[in-house]
Amino acid sequence: MDIKRDLFTNSLIISMETTRDGELTITIPKNLIDEKIGKNTIFFVIVDGEESQYEETKTMAASILIIPFVNGNQEIEIVGTYYP
């Protein structure tokens, strides 16, 4: 698994190799990316080019996302707002 931050799109791009269906649980510090874009308060999660559903738990310092994937998926992109 490889995770890169894309400053141009305010996103995290996760490259992975899967061998079965599963879930990715990721904790994202709010000072890395956050989901507040104007009144919009959600992340956009894209799995292999398709928008995906996810579960989110928030703390004061981070968002914890649970993102389902299926065998064969190779990339998850989490789009939000970057705060330097």
Q: Where are the beta strands (DSSP E) in 1-84?
A: 2-6, 11-15, 22-29, 44-47, 50-51, 55-58, 62-69, 75-79
- pLDDT at residue 33, rounded to an integer: 81
- pLDDT at residue 41, rounded to an integer: 64
pTM score, whole prediction = 0.88
- pLDDT at residue 37, rounded to an integer: 56
Q: Provide the CATH number for the domain around residue 35.
A: 2.60.40
Residue 60 lies in a domain: yes
Give the Cα separation of 10 and 6 in Å (integer).
Answer: 6
Boundaries of domain holding 27:
2-79
- pLDDT at residue 74, rounded to an integer: 98
Residue 84 lies in a domain: no
- For the chain, 84 residues long, the average pLDDT of each consecutive 10-residue run is 90 96 95 68 90 93 95 96 65
Number of domains in the chain: 1
